[in-house]
Amino acid sequence: MNIVLTGSIGNIGKPLTQTLIQHGHTVTVISSHAERQPAIEALGAQAAIGSMKDASFLVKTFQGADIVYLMETLDAAGGDTSEKEIDFIGIISQIGRNYKQAIEQSGVKKVIHLSSIGAHMDKGNGFLVFHHHVENILKQLPAEVSIKTLRPVGFYTNMFSFISTIKNKGAIISNYGGDQKEPWVSPLDIAAVIAEEVELPFEGRTMRYIASEEISPDEIAGVLGKAIGKPDLQWKVISDEQLLNSWLSVGFNPQIARGFIEMQASQGSGKLYEDYYRNRPVLGKVKLTEFAENFAAIYQQED
């Protein structure tokens, strides 16, 4: 099959591209960075260089595709999270509208959409609300367009953001914590589920959560601490206001800073996970102890 992938060849896109090509598919990878074209082609895929903000580019790239894989991230909005005037949520919602237009005009009938935990909520999920917006935009597509919506939970790779506070403060610091388990996921398990869904029948509109392990903040501190040689590492909790002021003081975009605070408060209350537990998936293969080895390597490199 001819498959078009958004998201370039990052933590999900690279293993996904490799798997799809191994399975005999023709793969086109969209990237906004021309310098990534050689790496894309080295995997055996075709590169389509352009912006997801450009609906006409997407229409052209989607033409002839049997399946398109869609994802939206903060990076897709362009700019840095320190740029204070960027409306990340608005830009990504527009990308969702561009996806809808491109699917309609290209005639694509099979879509895999990588959304997110929290996308069932229209408020209380922080910046994840843009996934809610894009899901609803795609629901407006004609009924003959089959959509598989995938909702991964928090990525292990998000834990790399802990490195700075571990080094500077000697602890993981957040506005929630404790011994309540929550789901996390490896990008490798996400790629495996997407590849699996490519091969399964497309019928109407479906939804599936993706997770690798359910583990508490205190347990995470223990696993990561052991990996980096700090067995007494603690996950410390501060107030929403303290954390927000800390992030704003170092130049975070206010929309993103407030969005992270609200999302993490929802993690702590369990509200973010209510729909996940109603639709609990089979857990993936990659556990935190495996990721911790990679975390430790990056931690040591940043010394």
Give the span between the Cα atoms of 290 and 54, in whole angstroms: 39
Give the span between the Cα atoms of 36 and 43, in whole angstroms: 11
Q: What proportion of the chain, given as a percentage, has pLDDT over 90?
A: 92
Give the span between the Cα atoms of 261 and 272, in whole angstroms: 13
| pLDDT tens-digit series, residues 79-131 | 677 788 889 999 999 999 999 999 999 999 999 999 999 999 999 999 999 99
| pLDDT tens-digit series, residues 131-142 | 999 999 999 999
Q: Strand 110-114 vs strand 146-152: parallel, antiparallel, or unpaired?
A: parallel
Residues 6+ apart with CB under 8 A from 12: 71, 114, 187, 190, 191, 194
| pLDDT tens-digit series, residues 248-290 | 998 889 998 999 999 999 999 999 999 999 999 999 999 999 9
Contact between 288 and 183 (Cβ < 8 Å): no
Please state, rounded to an integer, the average pLDDT across all residues of the chain.
Answer: 96
With respect to CATH, is domain 2-153+186-211 assigned 3.30.460.10? Answer: no
pLDDT of residue 77: 75
Domain coordinates in residue numbering, the chain: 2-153+186-211
pTM of structure: 0.96
